[in-house]
Amino acid sequence: MADTSTATSVKDRLLAPLLSVASSPHAHTRESIPRIMWTVNATLVPVALWAVHVFGVRALAQILVSCLAATATEWVVQRGRGVHETWNDGSAFLTGLLLAFCIPVGLPLWMTALGSIFSIGVAKHAFGGLGQNIFNPAHAGRAFLLASFPVQMTIWRAIGPAVDGTTTATPLGILKEASKLGEDGMQKVIASFGTREQMYKDLFLGNVSGSMGEVSALLLLLGGAFLIYRGYIFWQGPAVYMATAALLGWVFGAQGLFTGDPLFHLLSGGLVLGAFYMLTDMVTSPITRRGQVVFAAGAGIMVFLIRRFAGYPEGVCYSILLMNCTTPLLDRIFVAKAPVSDLSPQEAKA
């Protein structure tokens, strides 16, 4: 006759893990959603301050309107749905902040608010709220604004707080227009900065026209490094994403093979912002590192294809949104390995 106490003990050990299963990604941590979200927000504060320094008080207005509209929409929708209210957990605020970083500083404020409302009300809560949305809400809001107001979304303000009404082309815009005319686009871009070395310096430090999320690769890299240090994101995704876009931009340059400038493609546009703050979104990216690498490589390829062959000069937004569609498939292909049980084969059979 089997030992009843031993059988009961084995049964308890087998059932215990089943009773403590949480929602994906099944990771035990002391971190909470508010702590993670507000930490990510904090890493973007230097970027926001630099944007206000570069573009003036108009940048601050965009940030405030976008964040307030996103947070208010979260509160209204959750109150209307009668669900637990999480408007103050930092996730909606982060969506508004990232959206502000992806739009022209001179965009009418009511359009900015409309974009935030779409990001939260449609791209997030139409799918069930935080943890259930398919697409990155901030980029979905940007795509909505670009489709609805294409002219206003492609008018970029020149740098400097005292240049209201002055518009200019972004470095990627200059490259795209020159390439359409069959000219050497990189030479035109370099000429707009003076020298190649000055171009690299301005792109890295943040002294270029464009959106607020394009003005300082340095600050974004520092923020991303801190998120990696805290374990909020893995380094492989951002590294593969940026490396893929830069490598393809170098190999398939506009003038022929191996004529592109990989450093320019790496530092220009919203590539760095997208790599660390959009591509790594915990909800819309794959769970496993292998899945994230494939996800990042696919997005990097799309960035290059859009920049090189499409009519639009930038491809970060659409590259990530399109790859968001593949996340469920990648999670099925790259399944995380189950932990090894500490039960012996005999105990498991019992």
Residue 60 CA to residue 171 CA, distance in Å, equals 23
DSSP state of 25: T
pLDDT recorded at residue 234: 94
Contact 59, 74 (CB under 8 A): no
Residue 212 CA to residue 60 CA, distance in Å, equals 10
Q: Give pLDDT < 50 ranges for the chain.
A: 1-2, 5, 7, 14-15, 18-19, 162-163, 165, 343-350
pLDDT recorded at residue 167: 63
pLDDT recorded at residue 24: 60
Please state the pTM of the whole predicted model.
Answer: 0.85
pLDDT recorded at residue 162: 47
The number of helices, as runs of H, and strands, as runs of E, in the chain is 18, 4
Residue 348 corresponds to which tokens in the numbers above? 């498991």
Domain boundaries, the chain: 35-166, 171-207+216-335
pLDDT recorded at residue 210: 80
Q: What tens digit of pLDDT does each residue of 246-299 get?
A: 999 999 887 777 788 999 999 998 999 999 999 999 999 999 999 999 999 999
pLDDT recorded at residue 327: 95
Residue 3 corresponds to which tokens in the numbers above? 């030992």
What is the distance in angstroms between the CA of the first residue and the CA of the last residue of the chain?
13
Contact 267, 196 (CB under 8 A): no
Ordered alpha helix ranges (H), 22-133: 33-43, 45-55, 57-81, 91-101, 109-118
Contact 9, 200 (CB under 8 A): no
